[in-house]
Amino acid sequence: MDQFSYRDGQLFAEQVAVADIARDHGTPAYLYSRAAFESHYQAYDEALAGRPHLVCYAVKANSNLAVLNVLARLGAGFDIVSAGELERVIRAGGDPGRVVFSGVGKQPWEMRRALEVGVRCFNVESDTELDRLNEVAGEIGVTAPVSLRVNPDVDAGTHPYISTGLKENKFGIDIADAPRVYGRAAAMPNLEVLGVDCHIGSQLTTVAPFLDAMDRVLALVDQLAEQGIHIRHLDMGGGLGVTYNQEQPPSPGDYIGAMLDRLGDRPLELWLEPGRSIAANAGIMLTRVEFLKCTEHHNFAIIDGAMNDLIRPALYSAWQAIEPVVPRTDTAERTWDLVGPVCETGDFLGKDRRLALAPGDLLAVRSAGAYGFVMSSNYNSRNRPPELMVDGDQVHVIRERETLDDQLRHEHCLPQ
């Protein structure tokens, strides 16, 4: 169920009128729904109920402590890509024993910390990373649990920047070379081989590429068994898409059902790393119209949210729905480009949108809960927006609006 819906002529987040939230907390602002995060996570957990599994929420999608805490309370695992994400998980009450550590560039100190707190598994992406992990584990006298991220060379058919399963990109180990690398891993004294991992891309809207990847990974599992290497879990990564516009991705239940069919009665645990499908539609970004500027070619609505707050439209030409918080009927609809105050032509949140607008109107940019705030910056010395979470009829500030002092705290002039 969508926790952002219209009632009595205005947008609500759960039980709270969004316009009231904007009045109390200002704009731009990110606003999340606790119930949405919970139900999106539970859809995964329930679909996997009959089988040993681990749902590791991809922290990079939205790493606010409150978000991680809400998921940790449900028993979620976490997929991290840095020691920073690991500390967030720990401070949010997450269980390190349910954490998988992904990423192509893990540093020795990050590995050490992850070993100290006892993460569940390292998703290793190269031969040389294996050597490093073996060495770090040896130094502190522990055994590192590993899974190799293999690159199954399937085309996820998604945006080139977020497609990761093809041979030509930096991620993973070529599946054809994997048996050799597994052989090395199994022979290393301080590593224990547990699984196979892959992540083929993000915002996938069909199950076929996942199933192709799984077929290739299962063939590898069989080949490894012949080498005497017995795999206990498959980590199929994240990547399930969401509806931004007209996309009709499979539900987590359908996507998982299809993969479970493929797995049959093989004694393998299934692990997943969903980010976007848990977070994106659990959040919106609120922004207000400052000025309307109509030129010969375009109608510009200049809003107080910008590319530094939400970079997906500028970076990936991503389309996110933009809706009025209180739809008006006293003005005609026109076609607008919604542009921010940043000094870049690429600073837009939406183009060619049919809306009835007046200065001061509040707009909700939908599907902003994933890869929204986490990708924000201080470009143009703009303070980053606050993050708010609605829980029933309560609104909680889960990250305060930045101040200029926050921004300048770490900078220093040269001495006189």
Residue ranges for the known binding site are 239, 273-276, 312, 316, 344, 371
Torsion of CA 271, 275, 277, 278, to 10 degrees: 90
Q: Which two tokens stand for residue 124?
A: 């290793």
Answer yes or no: 343 catalytic.
Answer: yes
Torsion of CA 243, 206, 279, 357, to 10 degrees: -20
Binding segment toward ligand LLP, per CB under 6 A, in 138-146, 197-205, 330-338, 354-362: 197-205
Does 199 contact ligand LLP by CB under 6 A? yes
* Closer residue to ligand LLP in complex, CB, 14/85: 85
The DSSP call for residue 168 is T
Which residue of the set 121, 198, 294, 343 is catalytic? Answer: 343
For residue 346, which amino acid is it? Answer: G
Binding segment toward ligand LLP, per CB under 6 A, in 35-43, 231-239, 329-337, 347-355: 231-239
Select from 40, 216, 312, 382 the one that contacts ligand LLP (CB under 6 A): 312
Cβ distance 303 to 287 under 8 Å?
yes
* Closer residue to ligand LLP in complex, CB, 171/336: 171
Q: Which residues are CB-contacts of 203 (< 8 A; sequence separation ≥ 6)?
A: 158, 159, 162, 239, 241, 242, 276
Least gap, CB of 269 to ligand LLP (angstroms): 17
Select from 249, 275, 340, 350 the one that contacts ligand LLP (CB under 6 A): 275
Binding segment toward ligand LLP, per CB under 6 A, in 234-242, 321-329, 378-386, 392-400: 234-242
Instruction: Please tell me the count of residues contacting ligand LLP according to CB under 6 A.
Output: 20
Q: For residues 123 and 110, what is the distance between their CA atoms, to the nearest angstrom?
A: 13
The DSSP call for residue 120 is S
Select from 273, 347, 361, 387 the one that contacts ligand LLP (CB under 6 A): 273
Least gap, CB of 239 to ligand LLP (angstroms): 4
H or E element that contains 336: strand 334-339
Count of alpha carbons within 13 angstroms of residue 212, beta-carbon side: 15
* Closer residue to ligand LLP in complex, CB, 55/395: 55
Least gap, CB of 137 to ligand LLP (angstroms): 21
Binding segment toward ligand LLP, per CB under 6 A, in 112-120, 128-136, 236-244, 400-408: 236-244
* Closer residue to ligand LLP in complex, CB, 55/66: 55
Binding segment toward ligand LLP, per CB under 6 A, in 252-260, 270-278, 326-334, 351-359: 270-278
Does 106 contact ligand LLP by CB under 6 A? no
Residues contributing to the annotated binding site for substrate: 276, 312, 316, 344, 371
Select from 94, 249, 274, 324 the one that contacts ligand LLP (CB under 6 A): 274
Does 239 contact ligand LLP by CB under 6 A? yes
Collapse the DSSP code of 189 into the 3-class scheme (helix H, G, I; strand E, B; otherwise coil) and give the result: coil
Least gap, CB of 353 to ligand LLP (angstroms): 20
**Residue for token pair 């991220």:** 149
Task: Kindly provide the b/e burial profile for residues 138-172, where b requires at least 16 CB atoms within 10 angstroms of the residue's own CB.
Answer: eeeeeebbbbbbbbbbbebebeeebbbbbeeeebb
Which conformational region is residue 264 in: left (phi greater than 0), alpha (psi within -120 to 50 degrees), or beta?
A: left
Does 58 contact ligand LLP by CB under 6 A? yes
C-alpha to C-alpha distances, 23 to 18, 102, 110, nearest whole angstrom: 9, 40, 42
Cβ distance 202 to 276 under 8 Å?
yes
Beta strands in 29-132 (DSSP E): 29-33, 53-58, 77-80, 99-101, 121-124
Peptide bond into 28 cis (omega under 30): yes
Least gap, CB of 60 to ligand LLP (angstroms): 6
* Closer residue to ligand LLP in complex, CB, 53/276: 276
In the region spanning residues 67 to 96, those forming contacts with ligand LLP, defined by CB under 6 A, are 79
Residues contributing to the annotated binding site for pyridoxal 5'-phosphate: 239, 273-276, 371
Q: Which two tokens stand for residue 238?
A: 């994240």
In the region spanning residues 322 to 381, those forming contacts with ligand LLP, defined by CB under 6 A, are 371
Least gap, CB of 203 to ligand LLP (angstroms): 6
108 closest CA partner among 79, 140, 150 = 140
Residues that bind ligand LLP (CB under 6 A): 58, 61, 79, 102, 162, 199, 202-203, 237-240, 273-277, 312, 316, 371
Active site residues: 343
